[in-house]
A and B are shown apart, each in its own frame.
Chain A
Amino acid sequence: MFREIKALIDKEIRLELRQKYALNGMLLYIVSTIYVCYLSFRMKTNSIDKLTWNTLFWIILLFTAMNAIAKSFTQERFGRLLYYYTLASPVGIILSKIIYNTLLMLVLALVGFGVYAVVMGNPVEDITIYLLSIILGAVGFSSTLTMVAGIASKAENSATLMAILSFPIIIPMLLMLLKISKNALDGLDRGSSTDEILTLLAIDGIVLVLSVILFPYLWRS
């Protein structure tokens, strides 16, 4: 089981590195989005307040995640998916996709945060908790969106579907993340975000369990 997942993750990474333009494209996507925001906001001399800074960052991350993960089931051709179907178990496939997407999101989110902090200024007071919230966000976004991408890839016009299917169900996660990161931004006592972190972990757990239960049905069709 673990060897199967490891082999599948290995395959995903190799596939990604083989076509570098996709990864570079996503990096450029997040960097240019941040730059667009920077130019749009900094036209005036006064900088934006903390609340806007935080919310804007998470919305950029959300859209980047959507774009990066939407292709996780569509980039490979139908024949090859059929080939995996004969080789691997569905649980192995979904777990490897989630882990791989998490790694991808971590890279994108951390690079994004670096660029964002440089151009938009960095008002974060408790950087450890803020980075923790980014890591939790990357895990949560990638696990939810991987499953939704699987659902949307079966239908036509999957790009629109991806957005409308995932936005309502990602809201609880986003609210928790905004709360945690806002607390970190204001440099509040670390104990004040414990509740939110636990809730977020619980939601991530629910998503993982549901993905493992439901994906075999999706994979069969």
Chain B
Amino acid sequence: MKNNWYKFLAVGLLYYVLIWGFLGRIPRQPVLHETARNLYFHVPMWFGMFTMLSVSVWNSIKYLRTPNMLFDTKASEYANTGILFGIAGIATGSIWARYTWGAWWTNDVKLNGAAIGLLIYFAYIILRGSFNDEQQRARISAIYNIFAVALLIPLLIILPRMTDSLHPGNGGNPGFKPMDTEHTMRVIFYPACIGWICLGYWITNVRLRLKNLEQSLAEN
């Protein structure tokens, strides 16, 4: 019970977000109107993805310092959950973009950044798949994970400078903060971020336990 607090937190917060996200009041804004509610679902996906991928890289670094297979399994499972969040983020964003910008995909800096990030992690999965030896797979995929992320960071800094983003809150478009004078959005948005991150942690934990069981089955 004591170790499961985050599950209750995830369920509680996400129910709160689902119900109040759709029923709660939001400030009237041109163009966005009711689609602004996507803030509670789309943006937390990126927070979730960044958290999961950071934990993955952290585990890769730990693996290179002390080669323990547990770190490698963690790195790969957190990367998987991060990819899941990334795909969900792109899907929610794409649907939203269809109704506000009129296109499923635009040449927007944030979209490009997200797509490149996902490409790197798909490559990571394929790299993992092409080794038979466990130790070698662990070490080399850890090296790629660190190398790729270190090069992704300058990209995420460079890209936004080259063009303006269409996203609310960028390039002269109003974000939610100045409009949200009554804090009706803030009180849902921050819990949503925490809730989704807890859910990601939960998913990863279940996957890790499954991996452990599979491993002990294979050994017997």
Contacts and interface: CB of A to CB of B under 8 A. Distances in A.
Chain A interface SS verdict (over half): helix
B126 A164 contact: yes
Nearest to A164: B123
B208 to A, nearest CB: 24
B98 to A, nearest CB: 26
A101 B106 CA distance: 37
B11 interface: no
B147 A210 contact: yes
A155 B140 contact: yes
Contacts of A154: 131, 136, 140
Contacts of A147: 147
Given A151-B144, A171-B116, A210 B150 contact: yes
B18 interface: no
A155 B119 CA distance: 19
Contacts of B120: 168-169
B116 A157 contact: no
**B interface: dominant SS:** helix
Interface in A28-51: none
A218 B141 CA distance: 10
A168 B136 contact: no
A179 B162 contact: yes
Given A155-B140, A169-B147, A218-B140, A175 B123 contact: no
Contacts of A210: 146-147, 150
Given A156-B130, A175-B162, A206-B150, A165 B155 contact: no
Interface in A163-221: 164-165, 167-169, 171-172, 175-176, 179, 199, 202-203, 206-207, 210, 214, 217-218, 220-221
A179 to B, nearest CB: 7
A68 B123 CA distance: 21
A175 B64 CA distance: 31
Contacts of A214: 64, 143, 146-147
A169 B148 contact: yes
Contacts of A161: 123, 126-127, 130
A144 interface: yes
Interface in B118-163: 119-120, 122-123, 126-127, 130-131, 135-136, 139-140, 142-144, 146-148, 150-152, 154-155, 158-159, 162
Contact of A206 (B119, B126, B131, B151): B151
Given A147-B147, A155-B140, A210-B147, A168 B158 contact: no
B141 to A, nearest CB: 9
B1 to A, nearest CB: 41
Given A148-B147, A206-B151, 10 more contacts: A151-B127, A168-B119, A168-B120, A168-B148, A171-B116, A172-B151, A214-B146, A217-B64, A217-B143, A218-B140
